[in-house]
Amino acid sequence: MDNWQAKPQQKSVAVVVASRDASMDLWEPLWTMFQQHWPDCPYPLYLVCNSSEYCRSGVSTIAVGPDRSWSDTLLTALRRVPEEYVLLWIDDHFVSEPVKSKEIVAAVEAFKSVGGNYLRLQSLPKPDARFNGHFGIVRNGSIYRTATIASVWKKSVLADLLQPGESAWDFETDGSVRSDRYDGFFSTWHDCFRIENLLIKGKICRWSQRRIERNIGRPLGLSRPVMTRAEETSLALRIFGNRMLVRLPRRFARILRNAGHSGKTL
């Protein structure tokens, strides 16, 4: 199926893909691209599911039982992960370019050495203040302070911030407010991964689908609803708006984002 081979592992960190059985059609292309572009990943790999077993070299499944909320599922899975830190991954995010493994490991080791609680491996938004050459500080009040995309967490802090019943979207918004009680939140200065986000609110984004299919050399063959052109245009505008939002003063940006999330108007 592939020629990926497990490398000597950094036992204190694990990659945890938050998923569920309803997303099993994503698993094969997800892991194909992950292991193709990060063949020397030194961390144990876990896939969270409900009751299925996924058979792939180097990947262990964590079956948590009946499907509940995103946060409930992840919280249950974390109790089964022995490592102290987790690199949290979302099941519809596909690694699309080769990963510079040494840079990531160096950043993660530096993060662990200072007792960090959270390290975002994507740089949008940029850190609020310099800390070292690997990453900068994400201050209290900052927008996307608990962004889930390619993020390294001290497992105990992540578990504390997870709220039963919340979706990943809720966690990124409301969890950012809860995270203000913790220091030790950081973000790298540049993106450590090139990621294609395939699903938007459960629908396939066609431009991401085309890029993924070129990457793996075959059609995905997913039986899922597809975004309309109007929805993709709206998505492009939201992406542009988010890029503008992160340029605002951090507390004002969070107020605007949270108001939009709750449906309030300012």
In degrees and rounded to multiples of 5, residue 14 shows phi and psi of: -135, 145
Decide if 73 contacts 171 (C-beta within 8 A): no
Task: Tally the C-alpha atoms within 13 A of residue 195's C-alpha that lie toward its C-beta.
Answer: 19
Phi-psi domain of 75 (left: phi exceeds 0; alpha: psi -120 through 50; beta: other): alpha
pTM: 0.86
What is the domain partition of the chain in residue ranges? 13-262
Span 13-262: which CATH code?
A: 3.90.550
Please state whether the peptide bond connecting residue 125 to the residue before it is cis, i.e. omega within 30 degrees of 0.
yes
DSSP characters over 99-150: --HHHHHHHHHHHHHTT-SEEESS-SSPPSEE-SSSEEE--TT-TTTT--TT
* Alpha helix stretches (DSSP H) within the chain: 24-37, 70-78, 101-113, 155-161, 168-178, 206-216, 229-245, 250-262
> Which residue, among 194, 170, 140, has the nearest Cα to 74 in the 3D structure?
170
Each residue's pLDDT, cut to its tens digit, for the chain (266 residues) gives 333 344 555 569 999 999 999 999 999 999 999 999 999 999 999 999 999 989 999 999 999 999 999 999 999 999 999 999 999 999 999 999 999 999 999 999 999 999 999 999 998 788 999 999 999 999 998 888 999 999 999 999 999 999 999 999 899 989 999 999 999 999 999 999 999 999 998 999 999 999 999 999 999 999 999 999 999 988 778 766 666 655 555 554 555 455 555 543 33
